[in-house]
Amino acid sequence: MVITQHKSRVSAVFERRKDNSKIMSLFITAGYPNLDATVDLILGFEKNGADIIELGMPFSDPLADGPTIQYASNMAISNGITMKKIFEMVREVRKSSDIPIILMGYINPVMRYGLNAFCKDAAECGADGLILPDLPPEESSYIAEEAKSNKLDMIYLVAPNSTDERMKKVDELSSGFVYCVSVTGVTGARKGEEVAKSVEKFIGRVNKHVTKNPRLVGFGIKNHEDAVIIAKDVDGFIVGSALIDNIRNNYPNNNWIENVFSFVNELKYGNKKN
Amino acid sequence: MKYTAPTKEGYFGKFGGKFVPEILIPALEELEIAYEESLNDPLFQKEYHDLLKEYVGRPTKLTYANRLTDHYGKGKIYFKREDLCHTGAHKINNAIGQLLLARNMGKTRIIAETGAGQHGVATATACAKFGFDCVIYMGAEDMERQKLNVDRMRLLGAEVRSVTSGSQTLKDATNEAIRDWVTNVENTFYIIGSVVGPHPYPVMTRNFHRVIGEETKEQLKHAEGRLPDYLVACVGGGSNAIGFFYPFIENEDVKMIGIEAAGLGADTDQTAATLTIGTPGVLHGSLSYLLHDTEGQVQLAHSISAGLDYPGIGPEHSHLFDTKRVHYFGVTDQQAMDAVKRVSETEGIIPAIETAHAFAYLETLMPLTQKDEIVVVNCSGRGDKDMKTISEWFDS
C-alpha cells in the first residue's frame, strides 16, 4: 500500500526537532474537567512545551484504559461532550495556534458519526490525524482511504509483544508517527523503574523495524525523569493519565489551571523553567 | 444453501472482525493457531468429547413436553434439556473446550466474565477439575441478584471480583476482564462465555456448543423420524441459540427463532432487545448490532434476567438477522416470568429466567402452528439460581 506524502503539521514538528530535545505529546480528554476548559488547556500546554496534542474523544466503554482515563471519559460524557463539540474545540484552537491535534478514541463513536463524514469534518476543523487503539492494522481498511483523501495522519500502535513483522507493517500503514506502547497493560501511571526495565529491549526492536516514521513512546510516564529515561532512544514521549491525574488533583481549586501548566512545563523541561 | 461463515478474517457477512488493541493481536493469533490445530487433533477431540460425556453428562435428553403441548392444543413441543448439564446450563460445553485449549497453550491463569453467573460457575468448575487459578469478573448488581452463583464460584475456589463501573452488569464485567487480559496477556487465557468478542471467539464458542444442535437432530430423528419445523432459543450474547441453530442452518425448512429480552418493552429505554432496536456498532472486539445513542455511547441494557442484560449480541446473530435465516423477537420481563410459572407447573421443570424468554414466545408461536408441527425449545438452563428473583416477583 502506498501512502502519498504530504507535509503535515505533525511531520513538520519532527523535522524541526533538535537532536538534544524530545517531542512531547500530551493527551487530554475533550470536555474534561469541563467543556470550556479544553481549548484553554490546549493553548496553555503549547506555551509550556507541548509539541503535539492528542485530544481524547470519550467513549462509554474504554476497555484499553485504566481508572484515570475511564474517570475523565465518564466526566466528559456527563458534561455533555459530543463529536460536534470536539470539532468546535479544534476549530477554536486553530484560530490562534498551529499545534498538531490528533483525535484519539475508540472506533464506535467514529463509525456512528459515519467514517466518511468524520474524516471530512475532522480535517475541515483543522485536526491533523487519528489514533484509534481498537482499530488494529487488520481492520484498517475501514478508514484508510477516507483518512488519506482528507490528509489525516493515521497513527497505529506497536506493543512489546508485537512481532518484528507487525512492527514493519505498522510502520508501513502509519503516517505522522508510530505510537510505541511501553508496557503490556491499560493506560495509567506506573512505577518508572517498572517501565524502564522492560522498555529498552522493546525500543531496540522498534528502532530496527520502524524506520519510515518517527517514534513516540507512551504508557506509564508520569514525570520528566521517567520521560528522559524511557524516551532516550526515540523521538519523544506521550503523557496522558499522569496529566489527567494532575488536573483531577488541582481542579477546581484557585489557580488550578496555572498549577497544571507548571506541571506540564516541568514534564518537558524538568526543574529548569523555560 | 451452503453456509460457510465466518471468513478467515472472522467475518459473518459484514459482522465480526477483530477490533482490539495491538497488545491483544498476538494473543488472538496464538489462539487461532491453537484452535485450528485442536480441530484436527484426535487426542484433543477425544478428550473434549469424553469430558462432555463423563463429566458434563451428555448427551442431554430431548423431552417431549406433553402437558405444555396439551395446553396449546396444537403442534408438538420438545425441550432440549441443557438444564441437565453439570452446573445447570449449556455454558460448560464451551468452558471445558476453552480450558483444554488454555492448558495446551501453556497458560496458567484463567479469567472470565459472567452475567447470570452460569458461565462463571462453569469456568470455575472446569478450573477446579483441572487445577487452574481462576478469576471471575462480575457486575456488583449481578452479584446481588445471582448470589447463589457467587457462593458456588467461591466454593469452587475461584476469586470473584466485583465490578462497580458503569451499569455494574455483564457489559462492565467484560470491560474489566479485557483490561485484565491486556495486562496479563503472557500467562492468562480469557474464557469468553458467549459468541461475542474478537475473532476467533465467536466461531470457537459456537463450535464448542454445536453439540446441542447435533444431538437434537439425532434425537428427533429417532423420536419422530424427521427434522423439526421450528427451533426456539433465547438470545443474550447468543451462545445457546447458535449452538442449537448452527447444525440446522442448511436445512432451509427448519424455521429458527431467537428471543431477545425486551425488558419493560422494546419501545421503552429499559430493554435489551439489541436486534429489534439496535444499529451496527463495535463493542468488546467485534462489529455487530448494538444499543447505543447517536454519539456512539453504549446504552445500558435492562432485563430481569442477568444473562440477557447485555447491549450487544454475537456477530453471527447479526448476520443471520440481516439475511433473515433466523427471525428474532422480543419478550418482556412480565411475559418471561409468566412462562417460568407455566413451564414449572405443566412440565415440572423450573427454567432459568433467561430460558423462560424462549418459552414465553410459545404463546405467540403455538396458535400459528399446524397440528403435527414440531417445535423444539432449547431449555438452556435451570432456574435454581433465580429463586430469589422469582419469589420476589410473585410475592409482590
CATH number at residue A241: 3.20.20.70
Query: Does the beta carbon of B8 lie under 8 angstroms from any beta carbon of chain A?
Result: no
B175 with A139: Cβ contact below 8 A:
no
B183 with A186: Cβ contact below 8 A:
yes
pLDDT the model gives residue B265: 96
Q: Which of residues 283-302 of B touch A (CB under 8 A)?
A: 283-285, 290, 292, 294-298
A135 with B19: Cβ contact below 8 A:
yes
The shortest CB-CB distance from A139 to any of B19, B280, B297 is to: B19
Residue A10 resides in a domain: no
The shortest CB-CB distance from B295 to any of A66, A82, A158 is to: A82
Q: Which residue of A has its CA nearest to B182?
A: A185
Residue A12 resides in a domain: no
Catalytic, B380? Answer yes
Question: Above 90 in pLDDT, residue B396?
Answer: no
Q: Which residues contact B384 (CB under 8 A, 6 or more apart)?
A: B88, B148, B350
Give phi and psi for B388, each to the nearest 5.
-65, -50
The shortest CB-CB distance from B18 to any of A136, A162, A166 is to: A136
Catalytic, B91? Answer yes
Distance from CA of B75 to the nearest CA of A (A): 44
A157 with B21: Cβ contact below 8 A:
yes
Question: Above 60 in pLDDT, residue B22?
Answer: yes
CB of B88 closer than 8 Å to CB of B384: yes
Distance from CA of A273 to the nearest CA of B (A): 36
- pLDDT, one tens digit per residue, over A68-110 is 999 999 999 999 999 999 999 999 999 999 999 999 999 999 9
How high does pLDDT run on average in chain B? 97
Place of cell 474524516: A119
Residue A237 resides in a domain: yes
Q: How confident is the model at residue A274 (pLDDT cuts 50, 70, 90)?
A: low
CA atoms in the 13 A half-sphere facing the CB of B395 = 6
Span A263-269, mean pLDDT?
Answer: 98
- pLDDT, one tens digit per residue, over B265-298 is 999 999 999 999 999 999 999 999 999 999 999 9
Residue A14 resides in a domain: no
Q: Provide ipTM, 2 decimals.
A: 0.95
A184 with B175: Cβ contact below 8 A:
no
Residue A201 resides in a domain: yes
Query: Does the beta carbon of B179 lie under 8 angstroms from any beta carbon of chain A?
Result: yes
DSSP B187: T
In the set B18, B80, B91, B385, the catalytic residue is: B91
Residue A167 resides in a domain: yes
Q: Which amino acid is at B37?
A: E
Q: Which residue of A has its CA nearest to B14?
A: A142
- Peptide bond before residue B59 is cis, with ω within 30 degrees of 0: yes
Q: How many structural domains does chain A have? A: 1
Catalytic sites of A, residue numbers: 54, 65
CB of B366 closer than 8 Å to CB of B375: yes
- pLDDT, one tens digit per residue, over B27-45 is 999 999 999 999 999 999 9
Distance from CA of A265 to the nearest CA of B (A): 31
Residue A205 resides in a domain: yes
How many Å apart are CA B384 and CA B387, to the nearest integer? 5
B22 with A63: Cβ contact below 8 A:
no
Catalytic, B363? Answer no
Residue A11 resides in a domain: no
B22 with A158: Cβ contact below 8 A:
yes
- pLDDT, one tens digit per residue, over A150-182 is 999 999 999 999 999 999 999 999 999 999 999
pLDDT the model gives residue A19: 87
Q: How confident is the model at residue A273 (pLDDT cuts 50, 70, 90)?
A: low
Span B210-228, mean pLDDT?
Answer: 98
Span B374-385, mean pLDDT?
Answer: 97
List b or e across B362-386, with b for residues whose CB sees 16 or more CB atoms inside 10 angstroms: beebbeebeeebbbbbbbbbbbebb
Question: Above 80 in pLDDT, residue B261?
Answer: yes
Q: How confident is the model at residue A188 (pLDDT cuts 50, 70, 90)?
A: confident
Q: Which domain holds residue A238?
A: 21-251
